[in-house]
Amino acid sequence: MPTSKDVAEAAGVAQSTVSYVLSGKRPISEKTRKKVEAAIEQLTYQPNAGARALASRKTRVIGLVIPFIPELEMASIMEFVSVIASTARQYDHDILLVTEDEGAAGLRRVVGQQICDGLILMQVEDEDERLPVARTLNVPVLLIGIPRDPSGLVCIDADFEMAGEHCVRDLAAAGHSVISIIDWQPAVVNRHVNYVDRFMGGADAAAEALGVTVQHLPGGPDQATIADSVDRALAATEGVPAFIAPDRTVQDILRRALASRGLTPGVNVSIIGSATPTLAELQPIPLSTIDLRPAEVSRRAVKIICQLLEADSQGPHESLELVPTVITHRSSTLRPPHGA
């Protein structure tokens, strides 16, 4: 394996110059930097991560703290994980997956043992027990999600309030006067994750502004619950029914419940759900979706925390960023009347 000494000899510079080019700790002329980079590429030199960590007291590792709960739809969680990991590599960082078994104590452990330089927390609750500890850590901490009190914290998330508003406005424009929202399953609702309330709040505000009715109905992964919610929605609707299903786990069950009652999405019922473009297109009737943009949220999260790490700034930090959401129309929703 080539060493930094080999790179220095190939570039015709001192070994310390190679170190400065890699660390950026001292200004190096453009000509010299290009010579060193060319030698690195020629020799396929890879700096030793352990040595770099000892020299800089930085691990270049970001801890990603995720609650693994059996009831949660892990496919959507993994959308975040895969993008976070790949984006971190673009910033020359690695990701350490930290499960939530230890709770707040786990945050102190990974930071106290200098296992990672910063933390990203997911599935943030309204009153999250991790947050008092997060506010005291001397490393950057970023939340994907927004607690009830975001003061002293760096937060990013999809704009769920906008998402709820967009869904209701879209269905109201298509002529629906009663819109039924199938709630997230109880395992999510009972965790008091803030995005549920924000989505529902946006939907209710839009309904009030537009003079339409929104009814909130139970969700869940079992057919009986969804069937009962569908029947309650149909009983309360005089015209063409409309459903919003932001929780992916209920969408297949909802579609089957509607089909058994003679309802075809895009013909005599509208559905807006949440799914990746690929899965939405693979539905028997392509699903209109509210795009919560998990990839963009993940990329922005990594960029923000890496900027904090590169600035070598200790906390507390405070910022809040909401990523706009968009609706993609496919065949599962009625479209507005011509000229409307």
Q: What pLDDT sits at residue 24?
A: 63
Nearest to 240, CA basis, from 177, 165, 327, 287: 177
Are 105 and 164 part of one and the same domain?
no
Are 148 and 270 part of one and the same domain?
no
Cis peptide before 316 (omega within 30 of 0): yes
Are 253 and 282 part of one and the same domain?
yes
Across 56-65, 97-106, 250-259, least confident range? 97-106
CB 65 within 8 A of CB 108: no
Whether 21 is in a domain gets the answer yes
CA pair distance 274, 261, nearest whole angstrom: 22
pLDDT tens, position by position, 220-278? 888 999 999 999 999 999 899 999 999 988 888 999 999 999 999 999 999 999 988 88
Query: HEC profile for 36-56?
Result: HHHHHHHHCCCCCHHHHHHHH
Q: What pLDDT sits at residue 183?
A: 95
Helix axes 251-259, 223-235, angle to 10 degrees: 60
CA pair distance 180, 190, nearest whole angstrom: 20
Range of the domain at 201: 160-292
Q: What is the phi/psi pair of residue 135, to 5°? A: -70, -20
**Residue 316's pLDDT band (boundaries 50, 70, 90)?**
low
CA pair distance 233, 9, nearest whole angstrom: 75
Helix axes 194-210, 160-173, angle to 10 degrees: 30
Q: Given a cut of 80, is residue 314 above it in pLDDT?
A: no
Whether 331 is in a domain gets the answer no
Q: What pLDDT sits at residue 223?
A: 93
DSSP strand pairing (288-291 vs 178-182): unpaired
DSSP strand pairing (141-144 vs 118-121): parallel
Number of structural domains (the chain) is 3
Are 70 and 39 part of one and the same domain?
no
Which residues have C-beta within 8 Å of that of residue 315, sequence separation ≥ 6? 135, 137, 138, 139, 140, 141, 152
Mean pLDDT of the chain: 87
pLDDT tens, position by position, 157-186? 999 999 999 999 999 999 999 999 999 988
pLDDT tens, position by position, 114-146? 788 999 999 898 998 888 888 888 889 999 999
Whether 129 is in a domain gets the answer yes
Threshold 0.75, pTM exceeds: yes
Locate 273 and state its tokens.
Answer: 């759900």
Are 180 and 142 part of one and the same domain?
no
Instruction: For residue 143, count CB atoms less than 10 angstroms from its CB and return exposed for 0-12, middle for 13-18, buried for 19 or more.
Output: buried
Nearest to 160, CA basis, from 323, 328, 329: 323
Are 276 and 176 part of one and the same domain?
yes
CB 64 within 8 A of CB 118: no
Nearest to 118, CA basis, from 139, 138, 87: 139
Are 165 and 281 part of one and the same domain?
yes
Whether 338 is in a domain gets the answer no
